[in-house]
Amino acid sequence: GGDGVLAGRHVVITAGPTREALDPVRFITNHSSGRMGYALAGACVDAGASVTLVSGPTALDVPAGVERVDVQSAADMHAAVMAVIDSADIFIGAAAVADYRPATTAADKIKKSDGDTSLALTRTRDIIADVAAAHPYLFTLGFAAETTDMQASARSKRERKKLSMVAGNVVGPEHAFGRDDNALFVVWDGGERELAKASKHELADQLVALIAERMAAEVGL
């Protein structure tokens, strides 16, 4: 609490990967480290906000002052967000939520056979799009992690999901995931800004300043 550009605000942040179970011992996941989301959680606390961090499995320590809710699957993350979102002023979707989950989760370990096999996948729900649709006056920040056409995809993702702001970043073996530095291309309604390569902590501070700036500008519209 106290002073700071987000004083009195409640921020809900998703971070990390999700795990989509095939059976009791196997799951589908991705390379997200959770670092960007955790850095944002710390930066929001430093800016005076109260922060709920809905986190998939990561190796990170929870930043001081942050309330963490641990989840595994995309469905768990969706439910945990919806349970706390009514009191939020800002939602940040920094999680790398699985787009698909196994169509069925076996109760027992699936046995191998000598032949090949295939896996039926079904879509997960889009958490940030559902949040934005249900709470049109909430400030929403999403990410667009792409290997190609990052800027165009950041712009179109913002419009398609009806978000206040999208931060695009290039991902791949040489970029972003698991590293402590990153560069961001930030888009909002009527503006764009490039945030030069910096540590995820420095970028989190810059994003928080930009969120506060855009929220103040929206009130003034």
Rounded to a whole number of angstroms, the minimum distance from the CB of residue 215 to ligand C5P is 18
Q: Tell which positions 135-174 bind ligand C5P, by CB under 6 A.
A: 142-144, 157
Name which of 109 and 125 has its Cβ closer to ligand C5P.
Answer: 125
Q: How far is the CB of 154 from ligand C5P (least distance, A)?
A: 9
CB atoms within 10 A of CB 110: 13
| Site size toward ligand C5P, by CB under 6 A | 14
Asked if residue 68 lies in contact with residue 13, where contact means CB atoms within 8 angstroms, the answer is no
Q: Quick check: 44 and 23 in contact, CB under 8 A?
A: no
Structural contact between residues 77 and 95, judged by C-beta atoms closer than 8 angstroms: yes
DSSP 8-class letter at 175: B
Question: Which listed residue (6, 13, 14, 102) binds ligand C5P by CB under 6 A?
Answer: 14
Options 112-120, 125-133, 173-181, 209-217: segment touching ligand C5P (CB under 6 A): 125-133
User: Least Å distance between CB 105 and ligand C5P?
Assistant: 17
**Other beta carbons less than 10 A from residue 181's beta carbon:** 14
| Residue 93 is a binding residue for ligand C5P (CB under 6 A) | yes
Residue 39 found at the interface with ligand C5P (CB under 6 A): no
Q: Which of 162, 197 has the CB closer to ligand C5P? A: 162
**Of residues 2, 73, 6, the one with CA closest to residue 210:** 6
Residues 6 or more apart in contact with residue 127 via CB below 8 angstroms: 14, 74, 77, 78, 81, 93, 95, 97
Query: Which residues are near ligand C5P by CB under 6 A?
Result: 14, 74, 93, 95, 97, 124-128, 142-144, 157
Write out the catalytic residue numbers. 30
